[in-house]
Structure 1
């Protein structure tokens, strides 16, 4: 299953922005324990500081990963469940 994670740095996270690449590496490593893979990560400008494309086996695994990720206090996340083009076409064909 694919997810798009919209990440914002907390006050604590922005104070340690220089450490953000190290935190991303740690998040990737931690994700393995949940069966979660951060496939792509982008730093963005605007209301969101980073966007990640994530693969997880199911919603529960991703939820556990996301909650654990936020426990360090450096980030907050908003998650969008994403459908592949094939899934999108099947959904639309079912209307």
Structure 2
């Protein structure tokens, strides 16, 4: 089934304490290439049948009115997740037998 992905991030002027905690922990874990982190939210909306322009517009409206708080967050992405990307994401998320 097709999925629509909605990514929401805090507005740049909003403090991000989770991002600050992560950026502080990264060097202690050996990840020294990163100077900043902002943590956001990702929603995956499953659709029965094909994703039409009307359904995509409904997803954008839901993102702007319900999935985000427009006072402190920006909707940065609303897109259809293609099957190839979905399979790759599931492969990354699934633990391997070696773990």
The TM-score bracket by the shorter chain reads: 0.3 to 0.5
Asked which structure has the greater CA Rg, the reply is 2
* TM-score, scaled relative to structure 1: 0.40
* TM-score, scaled relative to structure 2: 0.39
Q: Higher helix proportion, which one?
A: 1
